[in-house]
Structure 1
Amino acid sequence: MSDFRKAAEEWLAQDPDPGTRAELRAVLDAGDGRALADRFGSRLEFGTAGLRGELGAGPNRMNRVTVMRAAAGLAATLPANAHVVVGFDARHKSAAFADDTAAVLTGAGHTVEVFAEPVPTPVVAHAVRTSRAAAGVVVTASHNPPRDNGYKVYWGDGAQIVPPLDAEISAAIDAVGRVDELPRGTAWRVRDDLTPYLDAVSGLRLGDARDVSIVYTPMHGVGLGVLRAAFAAAGFPAPAVVPEQADPDPDFPTVAFPNPEEPGALDLALALAAERDADLVIANDPDADRCAVAVPAPSGWRVLTGDEVGGLLAEHVLRHTSGGDRLVVTTIVSSSLLGSIARAHGVRFAESLTGFKWIMKAGTDADRLVFGYEEALGYSVGDDRGVPVNDKDGVSAALAVAALAAEAARDGRTLLDLLDDQARRYGLHATAQVSVRVDDLSKIAATMSRLRAEPPARLGGRAVETFDDLARPSGGLPPTDGLRFRLAGGARVVIRPSGTEPKLKCYLEAVVPVEGDVADARGRAEAALEALRRDVAQLVS
């Protein structure tokens, strides 16, 4: 404990935040060895997702010292006098972390622009590329619980960083000394013009149908103002907004987790949509880079999966674009449907590792990316000019979903009808997840090691035909901590640790041919998924 006390005292001596100083002093005065070990026994690792963790004092927490060290490491990695764009969401400490980032970067001789107010993450990603900045930073923890915050880094192409750049920045962070000795500047610029982003996303050429009634929730995040402006610029009627979730609130009081994928997160939006007899529910997560969709169904409102929305948007984009150089991309854990859609439309298709940092690196220089998605409600929607944002964007995705729904309604159809069309054309691709949240991350590593050593021979009543350890380079993909099981009859299971949460995530897919009624095929697919759920849950428990 003496080593942790010494580290804590050194931390106190350089921490500029009276709140975290008081917190740490209380821990020291109480002699709480466990709390000290939790804060100082390890540190948040800087990786391709940047930093993300619980707010508090110490290197294993998000705080002003951690953020200034990250900014100094980034500053050392950049070329001299680089231009950096900084944005932030409405979480606790986000504005202060953005100011600290700007102060350290300008103190290191770089030119910095900081958004005047909290903005969606894709707004910053767009600004990095279009303003020809060398890098960008967004202070956000996206859909994590309210006690968390994070730090995401973009490079000059407006996409998230990938190896080996993350390791270079991490090594530079390790070389940073005391943060109270870092030079801090004050002469950064304030950026308040959202017009370039709004023009780019509202001008997407994806059809002219606009008659659709929408209920929208920003889930206590920062999406409302930008989405309203984008809808107005594109000619859509203003959506009805869930009043309890309209304003930014870092405590997210109406949801257990501010993630549209979590059970119950959309309850208020669905209730308002039923009351208003709306055509569509659209939800963004708190930093508005993800988009969830729900539609009315005979038995009540149905929330579409990320794979279902991905398949629908892919065909909508391909119907409104042209050229054999078009590229569509999804990840190894998303549905295999996109590959079938690409072949039917005569366009190029690529698979990537999980995450938009990899989606944006897929394909070749000869490819023109028009659509990319991942099953976790992330979409990059483009037109013949390509994609406006080199990352997932919940605002442009919302516009594209609204255009798709309006176009279907004009033809007397619904999104559910379009899903049935795809099932008849390509077979029914049904997907589901099993997630195991842990308190001890070592349990995830132990489970992955056990499955590598003893992979199952059968899952869901199907033989495992091939087993891929994705930690070994395969099929042109970089190595990653994941396991893929291909099963008899067109089913598949992928197991991997979450990159942003303490979870082990299992992705299930069953492909069922449609020979008659689509409803019958859906029943068979659900039975197949349920069998997989049971076996996979037992496998990873």
Structure 2
Amino acid sequence: MGDDADAITFGTDGWRATLDVFTEPRVRMVGQAVATYLEETGQDAPVAVGYDARETSRGFAEELARTLAGNGFDVLLSAEDCPTPVVGWTVRDRDLAGALMVTASHNPPEYNGVKFVPDEGAPALPEDTDRLEDLLAEPDPVDESEYGTITEEDLVEPYLEHALEYVDTDLSGLTVAYDAMHGSGREATPDLLERAGAEVTELRCSLDPEFGGTPPEPEAERLEELIDTVQAGEADLGIANDGDADRIAVVTPEAGFLDPSLQYAVLYDYLLEDDSGPAVRTVSTSSIIDKVARAHGEEIVETAVGFKWVAQAMKEHDALMGGEESGGFGLTDHLRNKDGVLIGLLAAAAEAEQSFDDRIAAIHDDHGKVHQDRISVACPDDRKQPVLDELDGSLPEIVAGAEVDRINTVDGFKITFVDDNWLLIRPSGTEPKLRVYAEADSLDRVEELLEAGRELVEPLV
């Protein structure tokens, strides 16, 4: 068992691997670990199992369902591939013990993965996934007379009904171009928009396990057709989801591909028209969110990178919204997890009331423009912590000619200057690199800060 177990590591958002490593025996070990963990924590309610649009995902989901049922748990198996947020919401809505979602999100088709979703529908925390790694084992079924049932259900329809009631908008007269990137949002998101009254032009909404030859990650260089469609005047708004539809990208006629932090600022500002509450963001997400919050008398909570930390802070601070710079956003009273489907409907609702471009212009008029970029500095994994240790307590009071106002150490070192510009140095969680981020009121200043960050860390590597 040792070699099989050693290959399974739960990272920022579950376990992902190429298909030569992500095998049925190892998937069954994950199912057994989850079953044992749920028993340890006193959970005996049913467990949901969902899966994305990858060719192998349904088969892996069935293996997980059989393993859980063999441990006495009743299982709700999604009848079709579905978005990850649908599974998370189902856990919360039906008071389930938890869920397993087979997905490799935005990774290329040669990958697959599995996410464990605990009983509140929020991302698993490290104490959960560390324990799962400890419990990895071959399936150990109970007596066959005690097996749980496996029931296939349509998990999407109840979610869509909830989303329509939650956002409660009339999109009549609005045209939306939607790019599913051949992922699991390809039916749920356009269906939701159309039920709310929008006219939807669908792009890459066919089932294609190869994702058309490009990873299903909604970045500007992969959304050229969507951008062209919107900027040609064929749609009022463009929306795209990643492979499992927990993230969202927005395209507007004037801005084109919208920076996710600015998207967050627009949506939070829109919500604050009729609601209230803090916003949670990661250390690398733009301070434009802070400016919107302060204008409404609201608090900002800053967390480490990773939506699990955002979700935890959303609960602790009773936040209205949480988000991160990669396009993952959640609403506390809906689901403390990323949801690219419902947020897509929310974005369309905001557009129907006042265009995104006009909202962006108003934010810039009120708060000014900010610019952000990042670079990477090669750093072996075993040098990451020593570099951070050497930086601790030795950072200068003046960086790139600017006076340091405060330093946040929640995730590496975030240096905020007296002019509200900032520099962030943190280790990559997936590559042998240190990330250096900078935000400032001009692109030239961003470049200066990035170079200063490089000069701080490179000699220490």
Normalising to structure 1: TM-score of the pair?
A: 0.75
Distance 1:193 1:487, change over 3 A: closer
Match of 2:64 in 1: 101
- In the alignment, structure 1 residue 241 sits paired with structure 2 residue 202: yes
2:2 & 2:128 partners in 1: Cα distance?
29
- In the alignment, structure 1 residue 114 sits paired with structure 2 residue 77: yes
Equivalent residues in 2 for 1:335-354 (5 A)?
335-354=286-305
Distance 1:191 1:46, change over 3 A: same
1:462 & 1:146 partners in 2: Cα distance?
46
Alpha carbons 1:444, 1:504 under 8 Å: kept: no
Match of 1:157 in 2: 120
Match of 1:81 in 2: 44
Match of 1:278 in 2: 235
| Deviation, structure 1 residue 498 | 4.2
Distance 1:212 1:81, change over 3 A: same
1:492 to 402, 408, 422: 422
Match of 2:387 in 1: 450
Q: Deviations over 1:21-57 (max 9, x none)?
A: xxxxxxxxxxxxxxxxxxx9x523125522112221x
1:152 & 1:226 partners in 2: Cα distance?
20
1:94 & 1:121 partners in 2: Cα distance?
13
1:51 to 15, 28, 35: 15
Alpha carbons 2:423, 2:450 under 8 Å: kept: no
Looking at CA atoms only, which structure, 1 or 2, has the larger radius of gyration? 1
Equivalent residues in 2 for 1:256-275 (5 A)?
257-261=215-219, 263-275=220-232
Distance 1:403 1:534, change over 3 A: same
| Deviation, structure 1 residue 504 | 4.5
| Deviation, structure 1 residue 114 | 0.7
1:148 & 1:341 partners in 2: Cα distance?
39
Normalising to structure 2: TM-score of the pair?
A: 0.88
| Deviation, structure 1 residue 443 | 1.9
| Deviation, structure 1 residue 218 | 0.5
| Deviation, structure 1 residue 111 | 1.1
| Deviation, structure 1 residue 402 | 1.2
Give the counterpart letter for 2:163 in structure 1: V
Aligned sequence identity (%) = 31
- In the alignment, structure 1 residue 201 sits paired with structure 2 residue 152: no
Alpha carbons 1:279, 1:295 under 8 Å: kept: yes
Equivalent residues in 2 for 1:64-463 (5 A)?
64-78=24-38, 79=42, 81-173=44-136, 176=137, 178-179=138-139, 187-205=149-167, 208=170, 210-237=172-199, 239-242=200-203, 245-255=204-214, 257-261=215-219, 263-275=220-232, 277-297=234-254, 302-321=256-275, 326-362=277-313, 368-381=318-331, 387-408=333-354, 414-435=355-376, 443-447=380-384, 449-454=386-391, 457=396, 462=402
Alpha carbons 2:86, 2:155 under 8 Å: kept: no
- In the alignment, structure 1 residue 509 sits paired with structure 2 residue 459: no
Alpha carbons 1:307, 1:431 under 8 Å: kept: no
1:499 & 1:121 partners in 2: Cα distance?
22
User: In structure 2, the residue corresponding to 1:362 is in which secondary structure?
Assistant: helix
Structure 2 alignment gaps of length 5 or more: none
| Deviation, structure 1 residue 463 | 5.0
1:249 & 1:429 partners in 2: Cα distance?
38
| Deviation, structure 1 residue 450 | 2.5
- Once the two structures are overlaid, the 10-residue window that deviates more, 486-495 or 72-81, is 486-495
1:355 & 1:225 partners in 2: Cα distance?
27
- Quote the RMSD (CA, aligned, Å): 2.9
2:206 & 2:221 partners in 1: Cα distance?
19
1:68 & 1:136 partners in 2: Cα distance?
14
Structure 1 alignment gaps of length 5 or more: 1-5, 12-39, 409-413, 471-479, 513-524
Distance 1:489 1:315, change over 3 A: same
2:61 & 2:429 partners in 1: Cα distance?
23
The count of aligned residue pairs is 449
Q: Deviations over 1:440-488 (max 9, x none)?
A: xx72442453254146646555455554443xxxxxxxxx5x2322235
1:417 & 1:355 partners in 2: Cα distance?
31
